[in-house]
Amino acid sequence: MTKQLRRKRARLAVLGSTFLAGMAAVAAMTTIMAGSATAATTLGASAAQTGRFFGTAVPASKLSDSGFTTLLDREFNQVTPENEMKIDATEPNQNQFSYGNADRIVSYARQRGMQVRGHTLAWHSQQPGWMQSLSGTALRNAMNNHITQVATHFRGQVFAWDVVNEAFADGGGGGRRDSNLQRTGNDWIEVAFRTADAADPNALLCYNDYNIDNWTDAKTQGVYRMVQDFKQRGVPIDCVGLQSHFTGGSNYPSNYRTTISSFAALGVDVHITELDIRNAPADAYRNTVRDCMAVARCKGITTWGIRDSDSWRSGESPLLFNGSGQKKAAYDAVLAELNNGVPPTTPPTTGPTTGPPTTPPTTPPTTPPTTPPTQGPGGCTATVSLNSWNGGFVATVRVTAGSSGTNAWTVTMSLPSGATVTNAWNASRSGNSGTVSFTNVSYNGRIAAGQSTEFGFQGTGAGTGMTPSCSAS
């Protein structure tokens, strides 16, 4: 059984048990209508009828607000800690971790059968001062260590992680945001996902961003190309989060469903993660939910707060309940659409209504060369670069063909005592400790003279001192 299939089955088991608990918690919140059809009377119960979630952001400070918790307990079956899992909250000082408020939210939700979304592991914003002062290898190592420690602490308690948040730039280019994390190397997002996968292999791993709701926007297409590349190369990504903060600058787009279905067609789930709409127009909320319900892989919706008074945009009254906790017309529109939903069955068999972008991705995928390289026997060399943290490492190995090119190659190296390989990509592995061999896969064995390809692997323990040797045919 492949690692990907094991991860998928394990995740389905975790999600299934959480979903059943949530269903038990909301079973009493339904009413029987004429014709023996069942319609739920609350948001979470209605979403659960089609195997989805309807959640909200929760700050720890609101858990002592009875008005807030009454609505939370009644209406929602999923929660996202608002700030309590972000980097400055969980690692205020380097290697000193603090989980108190996040643990409070997780415990509260799980006791009530609610799913918990982890938010967020790697982000350019809300970094503590010590992290802001780092750069290069030191910052990359600190990022990996943070992801490993936090994801391990909450392993088995969250159903999904926003592994990387808001890494793409606004504007017309569709490229990456310039940040201290981006300046550690263009592979930082991939490394973050692989690190999170090693730390919490049963959680869904998501990329989350704002202003990626409109299919024709360059930023949306930039994220699409990254996800497409990750899926092609086996990078562990399971879902995309559309924040959907609809404002005067980015109102609900008419092609929103195209965006959702286009991402879903890549083989990832779509979550609407931070929904709020200026002035809470019923039509915009209705259309947003309708578009999600129309796509089987759109698995749930989270509003960024419950009452307008809880919102980070409180002056715009963007949520489903007013400051007094009374339902708005938008609430009724959302509930009606959730109750009209059809249970998701299988992923869509057709692609997006418009084709994928034709411009190349910002991080090129590793694909077979378009023209055959020089054939024949020849030597090769291999070099290794290392990103390490306390207890683990990611190694990137570059294989360079000699003067005759290669048809196939094998790289062998001895791991330090106590080091173990946990996974590898762009190569087949033999062994996981001691002397380990890596051979090419189908698409990267043939390398033209003087050209290179790369593969990588992740391990536990220390990876220092490895000297790869390469042989080719």
Return d(Cα 68, Cα 105) in angstroms, integer. Answer: 13
Return d(Cα 247, Cα 236) in angstroms, integer. Answer: 32
Q: What three-state secondary structure class fits 117?
A: strand
Q: Let me know: does 150 contact 81? Beta carbons within 8 Å.
A: no
Task: Find the largest Cα–Cα distance for the chain.
Answer: 79
Is residue 190 part of the annotated active site? The answer reads: no
Return d(Cα 37, Cα 349) in angstroms, integer. Answer: 29
The 10 Å Cβ neighbour count of residue 224 is: 22
Pairing of strands 428-430, 435-439: antiparallel
Distance of CA 333 to the CA centre of its chain: 29
Catalytic residue among 75, 82, 190, 274: 274
Is residue 274 part of the annotated active site? The answer reads: yes
Catalytic residue among 84, 166, 337, 454: 166
Return d(Cα 218, Cα 225) in angstroms, integer. Answer: 10
Which residues, at least 6 apart from 113, have a Cβ–Cβ distance to it below 8 Å?
18, 21, 22, 23, 24, 25, 26, 77
Say how many Å lie between the first and final Cα of the chain, rounded: 30
Per-position b or e across 337-373, b if 16+ CB within 10 A of its CB: bbbebeebeeeeeeebeeeebeeebbbebbeeeeeeb
Distance of CA 453 to the CA centre of its chain: 27
Sequential DSSP letters for 287-344: HHHHHHHTSTTEEEEEES-SBGGGSTTGGG--SSB-TTSPBPHHHHHHHHHHHT----
Q: Let me know: does 385 contact 249? Beta carbons within 8 Å.
A: no
Q: What three-state secondary structure class fits 258?
A: helix
Sequential DSSP letters for 200-238: -TTSEEEEEESS--STTSHHHHHHHHHHHHHHHHT----
Which amino acids are annotated catalytic? 166, 274
